[in-house]
Amino acid sequence: MIIAQQNILLVYTFLVLKKYSSETTPLNAAQVVNYMSAEFNVSQKLDRRTIYSHFIDLQKLSECYPEHVNFTFYRKANGAAYITVDQ
C-alpha cells in the first residue's frame, strides 16, 4: 500500500509540473505540494525531500528513456523545476 501511495504522489508531481510549470514559472517543492493539495485533495503532509526525489526520478526518466516519454524535465539552479511536453 505504501508503494502505491508513493507512486501516485510521483504521478501527481508530474501532473502538477505539466499543468502549472513552464520555463518562465518553474515550481519549487513547496509550490508543487500546494498545487497537489488543491488539485488532488492530498491530505497527508508531504516533505519537500519527497518532492525533490520525484524531481530526480522524473529527470532520470526524461533523460534515460526519451523515446518512451513525451516530456522533457528541466531543473533550475535554485531547485525549481518545469516540464515541457514534446509534440
State the Cα torsion 30-34-35-40 to the nearest 10°: 130
Q: How many domains would you assign to the chain?
A: 1
pLDDT of residue 63: 95
- CATH number, domain at 72? 1.10.10.10
pLDDT of residue 80: 97
pLDDT of residue 6: 79
Q: What is the pTM of this model?
A: 0.90
- Domain membership of residue 43 as a residue range: 2-85
Ranges in the chain, pLDDT < 50: 1
Distance CA 19, CA 1 (A): 27
